[in-house]
C-alpha cells in the first residue's frame, strides 16, 4: 500500500509499515510491562503512543482491541513456527527433530510468557481440525506426527495430540510456577519416546 | 469451635461452619457466573451476600480476597485428589490405575473450568518439590510414577512430570478451545504407554 496515514500527528507511515510498527510495539509492550498476564491491560491508545501516531490512525488498522490482540497472537504463532522449524533442522529434522520441536515450544513459552498466554487465550489462533485451514505450526506438528506414526506405528492424530499436550502442559506448569524452570529437565521430559500413539 | 459469629446480621453460623459455607458459596459463584476466568471478578462482598452474612463476618475468616482464593484453590486441589483416587481404584489401582488418574484430571478440569484455572493461578497450591510439603494429589502422582518407574524403568521424577504435563496440557488445550472436547479422545491421549521416564 502506498497510502500515507493522514492526518499523522507525529510521524508518517506507509500503510503497511504502520500496521507492522503497531504489531511490533504491541509485542514489546506485552512482554515488558509489569502487569504480565495475557495483554488484558494493554490498550490501543498505549500502542498508538508507543508508535507516535494518533488513536485514529490505529483504528484504521485495528477497529478494536480484539483485532490488535488477534494480530499479535497470529504473529506470535508464526514466530513459534519459525522457532520450531529451526530447532528441528538443528537436530537433523524428521523424527529426530520432533522432540526438539517440543522442547523449543516450551522454551518459546518461557521466553515470551505474555505472548504465549495471549496465543492460547485466542481460540481462533490454533486448531487441530482435520479439515480446517491450518497455520504453519499446526501443519508442522501434523507432518511430524505422521512421520512418527509411520516409523513406530500408532494413530497420527493421537501422536500429534500427545506431543502437543506434553509440551503445552510443561510450558504452562513452568509459567505458572508449579514446576521449577530447569532447562535440562525440558529435554528429559519432552522425549519422543514418550509418545505411543 | 463453638463461638457464634456475632453480630450476625442475617444468619448465625458456628465459626467453622461459616468458613465452610463461605468456601462452598465461593466455589458455586466461581463456576456459575457468566464471567468465567479464574475468579478475578469474584468479590468477598458477593460471597458474603450469597451466604447471608456481613462483609465484616467474612473478614474474620478471610482478611482479603487472596486468602479466600487460596482457600478455594486448596479445596479444589483436595477435590481433584479425591477424584483421582476414585478413578484409580475403579481401574484396579496401581499402574493400571495411573492412566485413569490422568483422564480423571482432564475431566475434572472440563467439569470445573474456573476452579481448575484458579488452582493453577495460585502458585502456592501445587508443587513438585522433592523435599517440600506435598498435598495429596502430588503425593499420589509421585507414588504412581514410582510404581511405573519400578515396572518399566526410567526416572520416577521424569515420569511424574510427563504424566502431569500430558494431562495438564490436554486439559488446558480443551479448556481454551484449541482442541475439541471429545471424551473418547481423552482416554486415547492419556495413556501410560505414552510415558518413557
Query: What is the ipTM for the molecules in this complex?
Result: 0.86
Residue A6's Cβ-side half-sphere holds a number of Cα atoms within 13 Å equal to 3
Query: At which residue does the C-alpha cell 466461581 appear?
Result: B30
In this structure, what DSSP letter does residue A14 have? B
pLDDT above 50: residue B7: no
The 10s digit of each residue's pLDDT in A101-130 is: 999 999 999 999 999 999 888 766 555 544
pLDDT the model gives residue B173: 94
Q: Which residues contact A72 (CB under 8 A, 6 or more apart)?
A: A23, A26, A27, A30, A39, A115, A118
B125: nearest CA partner in chain A? A178
Nearest to A166 among B123, B128, B169 (CB): B169
Domains of chain B: 15-63 (1.10.10), 73-194 (1.10.357.10)
Closest CA to B165 of B194, B187, B143: B194
- Per-residue buried b or exposed e for B65-101, using 16+ beta carbons within 10 Å of the residue's own CB: eeebbbbbbbbbbebbbebbbebbeebeeebebbbbb
Element (H, E) at A62: none
Residue B81 sits at the vertex; the CA angle it makes with B79 and B82, to the nearest 5 degrees, is 65
Residue B5 banded pLDDT, cuts 50, 70, 90: very low
Residue B1 banded pLDDT, cuts 50, 70, 90: very low
* CA distance readout (Å), B98 to A142, A157, B57, B143, B144: 27, 22, 43, 10, 6
The 10s digit of each residue's pLDDT in A154-197 is: 899 999 999 999 999 999 999 988 898 999 999 999 976 666 55
- Is residue A195 within 8 A of residue A163, CB to CB? The reply is yes
Q: Which residues contact B65 (CB under 8 A, 6 or more apart)?
A: B42, B43, B44
Residue spans of beta strands (DSSP E) within A98-172? none
B165: nearest CA partner in chain A? A169
B127: nearest CA partner in chain A? A178
pLDDT the model gives residue A196: 58
pLDDT the model gives residue A160: 92
- SS3 label, residue A172: helix
Residue that wins the pLDDT comparison between A96 and A80: A80
Residue that wins the pLDDT comparison between A54 and B128: A54
Residues A39 and A66: their CA atoms lie apart, in Å, by 10
Q: How close B2 gets to chain A, by Cα (Å)?
A: 37
Bridge partners of A67, per DSSP, are none
> Which residues of B touch chain A, with CB atoms under 8 Å apart?
120-121, 123, 126-129, 155, 158, 161-162, 164-173, 176-180, 185, 188-189, 191, 193-196
Q: Do B170 and A167 touch (CB under 8 A)?
A: no
Arithmetic mean of pLDDT, A54-58 = 90
The 10s digit of each residue's pLDDT in B95-112 is: 889 989 999 999 999 999
Residue that wins the pLDDT comparison between A193 and B178: B178
The rounded Cα B75 to chain-centroid distance in angstroms is 7
Residue A139 banded pLDDT, cuts 50, 70, 90: confident
Residue A7 banded pLDDT, cuts 50, 70, 90: very low
Q: How close B86 gets to chain A, by Cα (Å)?
A: 23
Residue B35 banded pLDDT, cuts 50, 70, 90: low
Residues A161 and B194: their CA atoms lie apart, in Å, by 11
Mean pLDDT of chain A: 84
pLDDT the model gives residue A189: 93
Bridge partners of A14, per DSSP, are A4
pLDDT the model gives residue B151: 85
Residue that wins the pLDDT comparison between B122 and B20: B20
Arithmetic mean of pLDDT, A85-100 = 92
Range among B14-23, B67-76, B114-123, B166-175 with highest mean pLDDT value:
B166-175
- SS3 label, residue B14: strand
pLDDT above 80: residue A132: no
Arithmetic mean of pLDDT, A60-86 = 91
Amino acid at each position: 500500500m502506498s497510502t500515507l496515514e493522514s492526518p499523522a500527528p507525529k510521524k508518517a507511515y506507509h500503510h503497511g509499515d504502520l500496521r507492522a510498527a503497531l504489531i511490533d510495539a504491541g509485542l514489546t509492550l506485552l512482554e515488558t510491562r509489569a502487569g504480565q498476564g495475557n495483554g488484558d491491560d494493554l490498550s490501543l491508545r498505549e500502542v498508538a503512543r508507543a508508535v507516535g501516531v494518533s488513536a485514529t490512525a490505529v483504528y484504521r488498522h485495528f477497529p478494536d482491541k480484539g483485532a490488535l490482540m488477534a494480530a499479535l497472537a497470529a504473529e506470535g504463532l508464526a514466530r513459534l513456527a519459525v522457532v520450531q522449524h529451526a530447532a528441528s533442522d538443528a537436530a537433523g529434522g524428521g523424527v529426530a527433530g520432533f522432540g526438539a520441536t517440543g522442547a523449543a515450544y516450551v522454551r518459546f513459552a518461557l521466553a515470551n510468557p505474555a505472548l504465549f498466554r495471549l496465543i492460547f487465550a485466542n481460540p481462533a489462533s490454533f486448531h487441530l481440525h482435520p479439515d480446517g485451514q491450518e497455520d504453519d505450526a499446526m501443519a508442522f506438528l501434523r507432518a511430524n506426527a505422521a512421520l512418527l506414526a509411520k516409523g513406530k506405528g500408532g494413530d497420527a492424530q493421537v501422536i500429534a495430540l500427545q506431543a502437543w499436550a506434553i509440551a503445552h502442559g510443561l510450558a504452562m506448569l513452568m509459567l505458572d510456577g508449579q514446576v521449577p524452570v530447569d532447562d535440562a529437565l525440558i529435554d528429559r521430559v519432552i522425549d519422543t519416546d514418550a509418545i505411543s500413539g
